[in-house]
Amino acid sequence: MQKREDNGEAIARNLLEMCRLKVPTICIVIGEGSSGGALAIGIGDKILMLENAIYSVLSPEGFASILYKDSNKFSEAAEQMKITAKDLKELEIIDEIIKETQGGAQNNEKQTYSNVKKSIIKHLKALKKLNTDTLLEQRYQKFRTIGQKYVKFD
């Protein structure tokens, strides 16, 4: 039990420290961003994703195990979870989808690197114009409102 508590505390401490960073943070999901790491990615001033990546705090297998009591139903779970770059952009959870070459990033790594670099430069230029107080406040508000388009409270 101690290990789970230590992991939770480490994740919480990481989130707190990331919130306090006085420099712009740009997080990029390049494959599968999940679990505690997904929480940390959510702290970024800008969250970018390669178009074929997935991003969620829980894996589809874990979600299927909880929801359906059957981890083999991960495909149905993934559809319900809305974990693709397209879904997350529509839900305003991520800021940009980075285009991949036909067949995926691995088919033309140089083009993928170039696309990622262009996105980083674009967002960094905008973020560098903000003073530290504004940067920290915008980061805080972004994290506080993430996913509100998806979850409706009455």
Could you tell me what percent of the chain has a pLDDT over 90?
49
pLDDT (0 to 100) of residue 7: 78
Q: Are 78 and 70 in contact (CB under 8 A)?
A: no
Average pLDDT, the chain: 87
Judged by average pLDDT, the poorest of 12-16, 22-26, 39-43, 133-137 is 39-43
pLDDT (0 to 100) of residue 12: 86
Longest Cα separation, the chain:
49
Burial 75-98 (b: 16+ CB within 10 A, else e): eebbeebbbbbebbbeeebbbbbb
Whether 153 shows a pLDDT value over 80: the answer reads no
Backbone angles phi, psi at 33, to 5 degrees: -100, 115
Strand order in the sheet with 26-29: 26-29, 46-50, 96-98
pLDDT (0 to 100) of residue 137: 95
Higher-pLDDT residue of 61 and 129 is 129
Give 21-54 pLDDT, tens digit per residue.
Answer: 999 999 999 988 777 677 888 889 999 999 999 8
pLDDT (0 to 100) of residue 5: 60
Q: Are 25 and 47 in contact (CB under 8 A)?
A: no
pLDDT band with cut points at 50, 70 and 90 for residue 154: low
HSE toward the beta carbon, residue 23, CA cutoff 13 A: 2
Q: How far apart are CA 15 and CA 139, in angstroms?
A: 12
What's the per-residue H, E or C state across 45-89? Answer: CEEEEECCCEECCCCHHHHHHHHCCCHHHHHHHHHHHCCEHHHHH
> Mean pLDDT throughout 86-95?
92
Higher-pLDDT residue of 10 and 27 is 27
Burial class (CB in 10 A: 0-12, 13-18, 19+), 139: buried
Q: How far apart are CA 95 and CA 74, in angstroms?
A: 26
